[in-house]
Amino acid sequence: MSKKKIVLAYSGGLDTSVIIKWLMERDYEVICYMGDVGQGADTKIGKERALQIGAKKCIVGDLKKEFITGYAFKALKAGALYQGKYNLATALSRPLIAEAMVRVAEKEKASAVAHGCTGKGNDQVRFEVTFHQKAPKLEVIAPVREWELTTRESEVDYAKKHKIPIEQTKKRLYSIDVNLWGISVESGKLEDPWTEPPKDTYISITDPEKAPGKAKYITVTFKKGVPVAINGRKYDPVKLVAKLNEIGGAHGVGRVDMIEDRLVGIKSREVYEAPASEILYTAHTALEELVLDRETRRHKVLLAERYAELVYYGLWFTPLKSSIDAFVDSTQKDVSGDVKLKLYKGSVTVAGRKSPKSRYNKKLATYGKGDIFDQSLAKGFIDLWAMPYRK
Ligand code: ARG
């Protein structure tokens, strides 16, 4: 009988490297899949390592463009932030990677898929919900959830025993997930909510205290809710985000430190770094303030929270999420224009906004010359407004 084929979500790190061998010991033929969402890991080295350990194949998929345009920018347009703070960078990448793995599994005629998530986190849910939706017949294996290698020492021992190359034998300080849209850092010293994030938790952002003492101004241009240019220069979506990460990161912008509620019921401490996203959320909101009518703005805020929850809960490929996307897209037809931003020692503030679709009417708003607002109408308006509450 031929071996069962399994597609593994492979990162190149210790856990998933050990998983290759662990699956081989259980008689699987392992096909590794590395989804490149801008984590900056060397996929070439990863691929070599996977093959050296004994994977049959290692397939690398460039998902960066799809990740930014089909996932991150959708969340941006919706204004989605989980519990008001987290831009969902990790959460957004999971359904995309899982779907890509399903495609590989179909092509390779694999009967199973595997991932390296623990049984305590959200990511296992996001991967597996997508597997169940896209290919319900695939067997799903989560080695870290069931194996006996429960300590780092036992994992390192196992790796040594099986000649699995490990680069960083030194103690792993934090658990870090990186992609273009953001970096998630947890565990280690961060597990004490009273402890200020140590300096060594800064991965890509300059410590605001060490950022330049002179503010930097940039202008971001949006077309239908999507950012298209910086300082008048057009960028493709992936380069635009990379550029804003660089500029924002240099000024200490984009750090979030929060206690969040995981889907599995645990509160956890997380530190995030997402300079581009912080700049873009700030700018996008400023533009919406200018162009959207009051009731649309108000309704959109309600849906933003639901949207963030759906993404966080792994419910990306669901009817409600698609319906909210449709609503959001219809609100974005006028969200075009420029936003001027000031970056300074960790903060990003709006310094100006303009749009050909602006609803701001200076003639109505002004307290100066040229006022066309008929103040005599206000009395009748207020009398009726208050009528139901008058004794
Ligand atoms: N808490 C975040 C989420 O559930 C990030 C999870 C991954 N974090 C990590 N440091 N490995 O989306």
Q: Which domains does the chain have, with CATH numbers?
A: 4-171 (3.40.50.620), 178-354 (3.90.1260.10)
Mean pLDDT of the chain: 96
Q: Is the pLDDT of residue 229 over 90?
A: yes
Distance 96 CA to ligand 1 centre (A): 16
Euclidean distance between CA atoms 6 and 9, whole angstroms: 10
Task: Tell me the one-letter amino acid at 24.
Answer: M
Q: What is the pLDDT of residue 41?
A: 80
Distance 147 CA to ligand 1 centre (A): 21
Q: What is the pLDDT of residue 169?
A: 47
Q: What is the pLDDT of residue 234?
A: 98
Kindly state the tokens that stand for 37.
Answer: 């969402």
Task: Tell me the one-letter amino acid at 109.
Answer: K
Q: Which of 11, 36, 49, 123 is catalytic?
A: 123
Q: What is the pLDDT of residue 52?
A: 96
Q: Could you report the per-residue pLDDT of 271-289, keeping only the tens digit for each?
A: 999 999 999 999 999 999 9
Distance 210 CA to ligand 1 centre (A): 27
Q: Could you tell me if the CB of 176 is within 6 A of ligand 1?
A: yes
Q: What is the pLDDT of residue 165?
A: 87
Q: Which of 11, 15, 36, 353 is catalytic?
A: 15
Q: Which of 111, 175, 347, 358 is catalytic?
A: 175
Please confirm, yes or no, whether 192 is among the known catalytic residues: no
Euclidean distance between CA atoms 129 and 120, whole angstroms: 15
Distance 177 CA to ligand 1 centre (A): 7
In this prediction, residues 39-47 reach a mean pLDDT of 90
In this prediction, residues 209-226 reach a mean pLDDT of 98
Q: Is the pLDDT of residue 121 over 80?
A: yes
300 with 325: CB under 8 angstroms? no
139 with 32: CB under 8 angstroms? no
Question: Hey, which of 14, 90, 261 would you mutate to test ligand 1's pocket, going by the most ligand atoms within 8 Å of its Cβ?
Answer: 90
pLDDT band with cut points at 50, 70 and 90 for residue 170: low
Q: What is the pLDDT of residue 228?
A: 99
Q: Could you report the per-residue pLDDT of 57-95, keeping only the tens digit for each?
A: 999 999 999 999 999 999 999 999 999 999 999 999 999
Q: Could you tell me if the CB of 311 is within 6 A of ligand 1?
A: no
pTM above 0.85? yes
In this prediction, residues 106-134 reach a mean pLDDT of 98
> On the CB side of 85, how many CA atoms lie within 13 Å of its CA?
14
Q: Could you tell me if the CB of 179 is within 6 A of ligand 1?
A: no
Parallel, antiparallel, or unpaired: how do β-strands 28-36 and 57-62 relate?
A: parallel
Q: What is the pLDDT of residue 149?
A: 95
pLDDT band with cut points at 50, 70 and 90 for residue 333: very high
Please confirm, yes or no, whether 15 is among the known catalytic residues: yes
pLDDT band with cut points at 50, 70 and 90 for residue 371: very high
Please return the burial class of 20, using the count of CB atoms within 10 Å of its CB with bins 0-12, 13-18 and 19+.
buried
Please confirm, yes or no, whether 123 is among the known catalytic residues: yes
> On the CB side of 356, how many CA atoms lie within 13 Å of its CA?
7
CA-nearest residue, atom 8 of ligand 1 = 184
